[in-house]
Structure 1
Amino acid sequence: MSVTYTEILLTSCIFIIPFLYESSHVFRYYLKFFLYYAIVMTNSVILIPAYCFKPGNVRNLLVASDFCGWITTLLGLRWILKGKENLEKDQACIIVANHQSSLDILGMFNFWRVMDKCTVIAKKELLYAGPFGLAAYLCGIIFIPRLQGARAKVIMNEAAKKIKTDKIKLWVYPEGTRRNDGKIHPFKKGAFHMAVTNKLPIVPVVFSRYYFLDRNIKRFDHGKVIVTALPPIDTTDMKIENVEELMENVRNMMQLTFNEASKEVMDGYIAVSNKKIT
């Protein structure tokens, strides 16, 4: 029986890919992100027809989380949620979280059912990201044009009315740009202004540092992330002039939690590494 070039190529890949995965951190970095994005895109294509039955319903995101949650295991990650009781309350609120990587959304997938009704503020460019953009739109994701301040403000005000009426949690990344450098960077005012104006509580959520990820040297190893949901901050008695102080207090609180959680995961990582060496 003759062997085709396709069969030879496939056989070679079966042997070469595991070798490259273990020996090259650059190959492992690109392969993991390729699998992550490819699976999310594929799931988007599969789920779009189902979303069309309830377009714009934020509970469509629960289905997305069920389909995508297993990617965590594939990539060798583990998400540990602390303060679960602060996310499962049936109330409208503004969740503010630090932003380190596109992997953040994968962490959310692992506890979306805890939040139940939750949507996300995202940059409008993601709306045009193929099947993912369409699926996100059908799931009720709120897209903001970052360069059109007046339009963004209108969209945020409309979103505030909806989440108050339907008791939806609104997830916001107030840093704007994602960075994985061990700091929580200055916040933009939008989410805090929205919370104070509409008397919505703020729930800070902190992801520990992604010590296993480094985009500069292209490293993506196994790792653990502690996600801490802090108690809600009441804004009922606050006024617009309190926004700056509120914003800075929340950031300082989140930085402290970030430092503590990052130290915890790093201490565990170092202990495991030392055990392997000995």
Structure 2
Amino acid sequence: MAPSSLELILIGFILILPFLYETSKAFRYYFKFFVYYGFVMTTAIVVIPVMIFRPKDVRNLLLASSICHHISGLIGLKWELRGTEHIEKEQACVIVANHQSSLDILGMFDIWPIMDKCTVVAKKELFYAWPFGLAAWLCGLIFIDRMNSDKARTVINRATEHIKEKKIKMWVFPEGTRNNTGDILPFKKGAFHVAIAAQIPILPVVFSSYYFLDTRARELEPGNIIITALPPISTEGLSKDDVEILMEQTRNTMLEVFKAISKEVTSAALKTPASN
């Protein structure tokens, strides 16, 4: 039986894929993000039936990360964690990290088994991106309405009591938005208010620059990223009057480390030609 027109088109498309991948940076960019998001969504469908038996349990993230951390290898990213001793300790704390791209989540997947019990503060819009949103809810993510600060504060305060009791880490991106410009934006105060109110430490985590990513030019090439967990900063004895100082101290420390490890990875990349 002769192949149909649709089958011929499909065969032709499959045959041309390798050519497009090797010759077009834009195609590689979209293809890799398609693999990334497609893998995450498929994983969500697979794990939801398991997670549903222990809803809103942060341990569900260990299951999800054990599958999703393979995505990095598929799209050519390698993560190196430094300061493991700070992040593996079982303690309630507020992790503050710089936010460059949705690729940050892949780095989190890579280190989740070391963090163990950790949840994430995320914008409520992500909850509606099903099946990912449902899986995230089952994993105990904290969804907040960024347009309603009073309601968001109530949700976080309630969650803080739980993480303090269960010694869970709370991951926050204090810049409030993605920023891949080679800098760290000024921080918002929320995470620092929470840490001081609960008298739990701030744990800074710094991702080196994504020199391999250019969203405007639609480029996503292979790359290495250093994730550095810094020593926790105590909030014991601090009050709301100390928020500004604590926030600036944390950001300045993170910015210094960010510049150092970013220089390290970019210098190494120049010495080692990248492959697709």
State the match for 2:111 in structure 1. 111
Q: Distance in 1 between matches of 2:266 and 2:103?
A: 18
Deviation at 1:2, TM superposition (A): 2.2
**Bigger Cα displacement from structure 2, 265-274 vs 22-31:** 265-274
Q: Which amino acid aligns with 1:88?
A: E
* 1:59 aligned partner: 59
Cα distance between partner residues in 2 of 1:39 and 1:138: 18
Q: Does 1:89 align with 2:89?
A: yes
Deviation string, structure 1 residues 136-177 (Cα, Å, up to 9, x no partner) = 001100001001111011011101100000000000000000
- Within 1, Cα distance between the matches of 2:263 and 2:146? 34
User: Cα RMSD over matched residues?
Assistant: 1.2
**Divergent runs of 4+, >6 A:** none
Q: TM-score under structure 2 normalisation? A: 0.97
Pairing of 1:173-184 with structure 2 (within 5 A): 173-184=173-184
Q: What is the CA–CA distance in structure 2 between the aligned matches of 1:224 and 1:120, rounded to whole Å?
A: 24
CA distance in structure 2 between the partners assigned to 1:156 and 1:38 by the alignment: 30
- Structure 2 Cα separation of the partners of residues 216 and 46 of structure 1: 33
TM-superposed CA distance for 1:190, in Å, is 0.4
SS at match of 2:131: helix
Q: 1:39 maps to what in 2? A: 39
Hey, what does 1:194 align to over in structure 2? Answer: 194
For residues 234 and 225 of structure 1, the distance between their equivalents in structure 2, rounded to whole angstroms, comes to 27
SS of 2:184's equivalent in the other structure is coil
Task: Please name the residue that 2:185 is paired with.
Answer: 185
What does residue 253 of structure 2 align with? 253
Per the alignment, residue 266 of structure 1 pairs with 266
Q: Residue deviations 1:105-162, cap 9 Å, x none? A: 1110001000000000000000101100011001100001001111011011101100
TM-score w.r.t. the length of structure 1 is 0.97
**By how many angstroms is 1:34 displaced?**
1.0
Which residue does the alignment assign to 1:129? 129
For 1:14 and 1:135, locate their aligned partners in 2 and report how far apart those are by CA, in whole Å: 32
Q: What displacement does 1:11 show?
A: 2.4
Alignment of 1:158-169 (within 5 A): 158-169=158-169
C-alpha distance in 1, partners of 2:38/2:8?
25
User: Whole-Å Cα distance in 1 between the matches of residues 209 and 230 of structure 2?
Assistant: 17
For residue 170 of structure 1, what is the aligned residue in structure 2? 170
CA distance in 2, matches of 1:196, 1:45: 38
Cross-structure match for 1:18:
18
- Residues 1:69 and 2:69 aligned together: yes
Secondary structure (helix, strand or coil) at the match of 1:184 reads: coil
Name the amino acid aligned to 2:270. Answer: I
Which position in structure 2 is the counterpart of 1:228?
Answer: 228
List runs of 5+ in structure 2 lacking aligned partners: none
**Distance in 2, Cα, partners of 1:222 & 1:6:** 34
Cα distance in 2 for residues equivalent to 1:74 and 1:271 = 23
Secondary structure (helix, strand or coil) at the match of 1:91 reads coil
Letter in 1 for 2:211: Y
Matched residues in 2 for 1:169 and 1:157: separation? 14
Identity of aligned residues (%): 55
Task: Give the Cα separation in 2 of the matches to 1:108 and 1:9.
Answer: 39
How much does 1:237 deviate? 2.0
Residue 208 of structure 1 pairs with residue 225 of structure 2: no
Structure 2 counterpart SS, 1:156: helix
CA distance in structure 2 between the aligned counterparts of 1:256 and 1:137, rounded to whole angstroms: 35
Distance 1:115 1:9 in 2: 47
1: distance between equivalents of 2:140 and 2:273? Answer: 43
